[in-house]
Structure 1
Amino acid sequence: MSKAFDASVQQALLESRAEQALRLAKHLGADACEVGASVDQGIGISVREGEVESVELSRDQGIAVTVYLRGHKGSASSTDAGDASIREVVEKAVAIALYTGEDPAAGLADPELMATELPDLDVHHPWPLSTEQAIDLALACEAAGRGEPGIRQSEGASLSSGEGVRVYANSHGFMGSQRGSRHSLSCMLIAEDEHGMQRDYDYTSARDPKELLSAEVVGRRAAERTLSRLGAQRPATGRLPVLFDATVASGLVGHLMSAIAGGSLYRQASFLCDRLGEPLFLDWFTLGEHPMERGAMASSAFDNDGVQTRNNVFIEQGRLASYMLSAYSARRLGMQTTGNAGGARNLRISAPLETRQALLARMGRGVLVTELMGQGVNGVTGDYSRGAAGFWVENGEIQYPVEEFTIAGNLEAMFKGLQAVGSDIDTRGSIHTGSWLIDEMTVAGS
């Protein structure tokens, strides 16, 4: 890897720069100021067909300053965090504030809400990986996949490893810092038979490199997924049950969270405006966040406003229990922040879980969706239409792969039509969920 990254040194440097920016903003007449600063370093390796395609050593830094001046807000940022650049950024933010309209909702979160519990959340696990070692792992991953009978060629394997430090500070006197790391390894392959070519991939991702799957396992799983798609057909058109594989079911959770996000609500751009307390799911379904979960992918003790994060329940026994609000969106809505500036952190579902085979048996006849394409989701109406690929299911058993079809419905109806959640929980991201069985959607195929 490139120049050694000392997280403690970088943290102290960023904190010093944040304090410098706060002092300067006050000197220039700002009523309040907040500063975000970060530095990241990483390595990225791409290989294809047994050859190295690219080696990228990255080191990025940045600082962003927002000032508040008599109800006016100005923001500026720079990728250079030197002394001269900090002065320039603060001066620009102040100058911008002089020309923006007054916004009564603008300003820092209330001082009593600032985070006071800042534990080590076990999210920083550097990987002392040389460039040669990273290349060897990527090549081993690809070789394992290419070695499976039926694989025609490779679209490549990639390894990414990085760590960084972020700091948030404001003129309430709050200073929060967090070190973090993220590592991943992926492989994409192509298989071919008399019906044509198919491609698919697999990956592993974790904060701690010791929790990654082995390169060989990732490669073989990529090959297995790719080979399983050979001979794909177009399914029949009709109203059918749809089983969303765990790898795509997390997207349904993401659409739900977008609909209850403060920005969508105060703009009246959500189908869930003014729906607090109403049932959206059956009463066995609960969804919440756990931002202080140790070692998880989105853990943080403070949000992007410096507010103490907390466990929030968004769906409780099927009912919409809480919106997802920052300090600004809460003011716009006449509510209180939920500590979600920057989004939800570590979403977890509480529900009875069923095995994949049990879900297929319950479905009987329908489609198992393993891939989604396109952006056909309307957050205002909840209308949902996506291109898809997956497998046809008959009598509770997978029969053959299917592709080139569309699934359509409405998110509210899909949520109410959720029949069961699988025990095949995908833990690679910040949303942990198993497969979702929806009672009925429009499947448009042949």
Structure 2
Amino acid sequence: MPIDSTEETSQRLARLMQTVEDLLKEAKQRGATAAEASVGSSAGLEISVRLGSVETVEHTRDNGLGVTVYFGHRKGSATTSDLSTTALREAVRAACSIATHTQEDPCAHLADAALMATDLPDLDLYHPWPLEVAEAITIATECEDAARGYDARIVNSEGASLSSHTGIKVYGNSHGFVAGYPTSRHGLSCAVIGQQGQSLQRDHWWTSARAPTDLTAARVVGERAAERTVARLGARRIETCSVPVLFRAEIATGLVRSLMSVIQGANIYRRTSFLLDRIGERVFPEFVRIHEEPLLPRGLSSAPFDGDGVATRSKDLISDGILQTYILDSYSACRLGMQTTGNAGGVRNLRVQMGELDRNGLLREMHTGLLVTELMGHGVNPVTGDYSRGAAGFWVEGGVIQYPVEEITIAGNLKRMYAGLVGIGNDCDYDGSTRTGSWLIDSMTIAGE
């Protein structure tokens, strides 16, 4: 994939920043009292191989722009993928027209000018990969070959995929704030199918990073996918019971995401969260700390400013088990009579403080119960906290894995599950913007046979 030189990247960034400035100027000329715009440009290579043959090779190049105008407290927005001068003017015109039909909203305005980011640190987010198609095919093939050759019980493959993307993001508003930065992201994944008797199982593994040198080796990714698949062969059903449940580290991220959803500003001001009016109250045991690190160098979700132009900052969301803050952009903060937390666009690089035990230590702590390695469905109610998901994993007795299990449902309530968290492991072994060890919950209902 051809890579722009440093000078060419700087020139593209300057052009996109000028595009945003032109949009803001056009909005002002059309009578808008305020405006904001974001523009992005990305390019990438995606290839996939299956059973040793190339299935797809895609070169991608995308542009996108969004503009929002304000006439007092009336708001209109428009988007386009065409960055021509004519299309940009049409987008502004459309946004202004939409604003004439919207209702007054006292919270429809830009974030406070005093909160705009002024210090834009280099977060080391741009590491382009001059990857040729032949090299990409070689890497993906090596990954799949490692998986297929791991064990004779690996009988089929869903393939391996390699991707490499670069892009530039720019945001600006009529406070005079216009800024942007280039980014890159690369990834490799593999999924294979195993068979033992009549039992067929599938599993996968992946790696993702800002810099290609930070990716896990292709062979290791393939072997990990096969290892996970083989471990699931011979899965059984179990009887309905109530036992402790250990969520493997990468699966436990789902519990973190559920927490982020219920403390997100929109769910709070709409009063559709079971953690409504709970800031300052204990949600987890006191050993739990969950913090955000948006300025983490090479972080997969790092950003010096949020989608409102507000400076991002590190902060605890949970400290000593106590809910410290909601996740707010400027609009939700206004609706709640609070100040934005710099989270327009979501949270960035969540870190759950890990404990002293590894996964085997947590299994011994659990003694008898279920290790969850896969979840299916989306059975989480943010209003009540009720939780019910299809699951697969391993039955544990005496602190040792006994056999794989499948076709079960685990159920509980997030309020009770969070309060009943027994321990967090130190076994984080995956790539992702949310990092945690395994979570041991004291008791959940397992619906089986």
- Give secondary structure in 2 for the equivalent of 1:353: coil
1:415 aligns with 2:418: yes
Pick aligned residue for 1:278 from 262, 274, 281: 281
Q: Give 1:352 shift.
A: 2.8
Give the TM-score normalised by the residue count of structure 1. Answer: 0.98
Give the TM-score normalised by the residue count of structure 2. Answer: 0.98
- What is aligned with 2:83? 81
- Give secondary structure in 1 for the equivalent of 2:139: helix
- What is aligned with 1:117? 119
- Give secondary structure in 2 for the equivalent of 1:136: helix
Q: Mapping of 1:381-392 within 5 angstroms? A: 381-392=384-395
Pick aligned residue for 1:361 from 355, 359, 364: 364
1:105 aligns with 2:107: yes
- Give secondary structure in 1 for the equivalent of 2:18: helix
1:70 aligns with 2:72: yes
Q: Give 1:236 shift.
A: 2.2
- What is aligned with 1:127? 129
Q: Give 1:404 shift.
A: 0.6
- What is aligned with 2:248? 245
- Give secondary structure in 2 for the equivalent of 1:283: coil
CA contact (8 A) 2:158 2:192 kept: yes
Q: Give 1:359 shift.
A: 0.1
Q: Give 1:195 shift.
A: 3.2
- CA deviation profile, 1:286-319 (whole Å, cap 9, x unmatched): 1110111111111111000000111121111011
Q: Give 1:184 shift.
A: 0.6
Pick aligned residue for 1:47 from 44, 49, 62: 49
CA contact (8 A) 2:354 2:436 kept: no
Structure 2: any 5+ residue segments left out of the alignment? none
Q: Mapping of 1:3-14 within 5 angstroms? A: 4=4, 6-14=8-16
Q: Give 1:425 shift.
A: 1.2
Letter in 2 for 1:327: S
Q: Distance in 1 between matches of 2:338 and 2:262?
A: 17
**Cα pair distance change 1:224/1:351, threshold 3 Å:** closer
Q: Distance in 2 between matches of 1:292 and 1:338?
A: 14
Q: Give 1:408 shift.
A: 0.4
Runs of 4+ in 1 over 6 A off after TM superposition: none
Q: Distance in 1 between matches of 2:429 and 2:312?
A: 24
CA contact (8 A) 2:354 2:425 kept: no
- What is aligned with 2:433? 430
- Give secondary structure in 2 for the equivalent of 1:376: strand
CA contact (8 A) 2:3 2:128 kept: no
Q: Give 1:364 shift.
A: 0.5
1:262 aligns with 2:262: no
Q: Mapping of 1:167-186 within 5 angstroms? A: 167-186=170-189
- What is aligned with 2:61? 59
Q: Give 1:45 shift.
A: 0.5
- What is aligned with 2:351? 348
- Give secondary structure in 2 for the equivalent of 1:166: strand
CA contact (8 A) 1:7 1:164 kept: no
Q: Mapping of 1:278-427 within 5 angstroms? A: 278-427=281-430
- Give secondary structure in 1 for the equivalent of 2:307: coil
Q: Give 1:30 shift.
A: 0.3
Q: Distance in 2 between matches of 1:342 and 1:411?
A: 24
Letter in 2 for 1:9: Q
- Give secondary structure in 2 for the equivalent of 1:352: coil
Q: Distance in 1 between matches of 2:246 and 2:34?
A: 50
CA contact (8 A) 2:290 2:350 kept: yes
- Give secondary structure in 1 for the equivalent of 2:286: coil
Pick aligned residue for 1:162 from 162, 165, 177: 165
- What is aligned with 1:38? 40
Q: Distance in 2 between matches of 1:299 and 1:4?
A: 22
Q: CA RMSD in A?
A: 1.1
Letter in 2 for 1:405: I
Letter in 2 for 1:27: Q
- What is aligned with 2:148? 146
CA contact (8 A) 2:39 2:171 kept: yes
- Give secondary structure in 1 for the equivalent of 2:161: strand
- Give secondary structure in 2 for the equivalent of 1:8: helix
- Give secondary structure in 1 for the equivalent of 2:379: coil
- Give secondary structure in 2 for the equivalent of 1:184: strand
- Give secondary structure in 1 for the equivalent of 2:251: helix
Q: Distance in 2 between matches of 1:97 and 1:243?
A: 50
- CA deviation profile, 1:166-195 (whole Å, cap 9, x unmatched): 000000000121211111101100110113
Q: Distance in 2 between matches of 1:350 and 1:102?
A: 44
Letter in 1 for 2:104: E
Q: Give 1:3 shift.
A: 7.7
Q: Mapping of 1:187-202 within 5 angstroms? A: 187-202=190-205
CA contact (8 A) 1:324 1:344 kept: yes
- Give secondary structure in 2 for the equivalent of 1:91: helix
Q: Give 1:2 shift.
A: 5.7
The sequence identity of aligned pairs, in percent, is 54
- Give secondary structure in 1 for the equivalent of 2:136: helix
CA contact (8 A) 1:312 1:338 kept: no
- Give secondary structure in 1 for the equivalent of 2:181: strand
Q: Distance in 1 between matches of 2:317 and 2:334?
A: 19
CA contact (8 A) 2:250 2:430 kept: no
- What is aligned with 2:237? 234
The number of residues matched between the two structures is 446
**Cα pair distance change 1:85/1:3, threshold 3 Å:** farther
- Give secondary structure in 1 for the equivalent of 2:443: strand
Letter in 2 for 1:118: L
Q: Distance in 2 between matches of 1:153 and 1:9?
A: 47
CA contact (8 A) 1:65 1:93 kept: yes
